[in-house]
Amino acid sequence: MDLDLGLLVVRLALGPMLVLHGWNKVYGGGGGLSGTAGWFEGLDLRPGWLHARLAAATELGAGTLITLGLLTGLTATAFVGLMLVATLTDHRGKGYFVFKGGWEYTVLVAMVAVGLAATGPGEWSIDHALDLDLAGWGWGIVAGAGGALAAGGLLVVGRRR
């Protein structure tokens, strides 16, 4: 029971945080999706409108699913992909510490997602209620490697001229 409570706390911290990031991309004070699209263009991710929509949809969807503990192993893969793209674009070359724009935060979120894929969401989750077994060391590898492949593909395609 203590482990299940701990996993619920992790999901309730991680999921809504990502939902809020997605919400901000769509409705935030930086001009909504068009402002977010311009920001992605500035990161050399083109077309910016597509990357803005993909990032917002992934953050809103994956954040909701991880909060609910649904399809946790697959959802963690999305988290890893998002955070690796952020690490290799917006946070690249800025050092470790987040207060200097570094990659501390993005790598931490990715690693927590891999940990959730490996442990599972706990008994207080929809995965458990539906008897979905999408956890274990194999799912941890899927989340890490799958997220890295997704991020790599996105960066290669998004930076084509």
Q: What is the pLDDT of residue 119?
A: 97
Amino acid sitting at position 147: G
Flag whether pLDDT at 24 surpasses 70.
yes
The domain spans of the chain are 2-158
C-alpha distances in Å from residue 159, one per residue of 43, 59, 125: 9, 21, 38
**Higher local confidence (pLDDT), 117 or 31:** 117
Is the model's pLDDT at 130 over the cut of 80? Answer: yes
- Tell me what the pLDDT averaged over the chain comes to: 95
Neighbouring C-alpha atoms within 13 Å toward the C-beta of 159: 11
Give CA–CA dist 150/156, Å, rounded.
10
What sign for the dihedral angle of Cα 123, 111, 139, 65? positive
The predicted-structure confidence for 53-85, as pLDDT tens digits, reads as follows 999 999 999 999 999 999 999 999 999 999 999
pLDDT value at position 39?
Answer: 94
pTM value surpassing 0.75: yes
Average pLDDT over residues 89-116: 96
Going by pLDDT thresholds of 50, 70 and 90, the confidence category of residue 29 is confident
pLDDT greater than 80 at residue 38: yes
Confidence band for 152, pLDDT divided at 50, 70 and 90: very high
pLDDT band at 160 (very low <50, low <70, confident <90, very high): low
Rounded to whole angstroms, the Cα distance separating 76 from 127 reads: 13
pLDDT band at 161 (very low <50, low <70, confident <90, very high): low
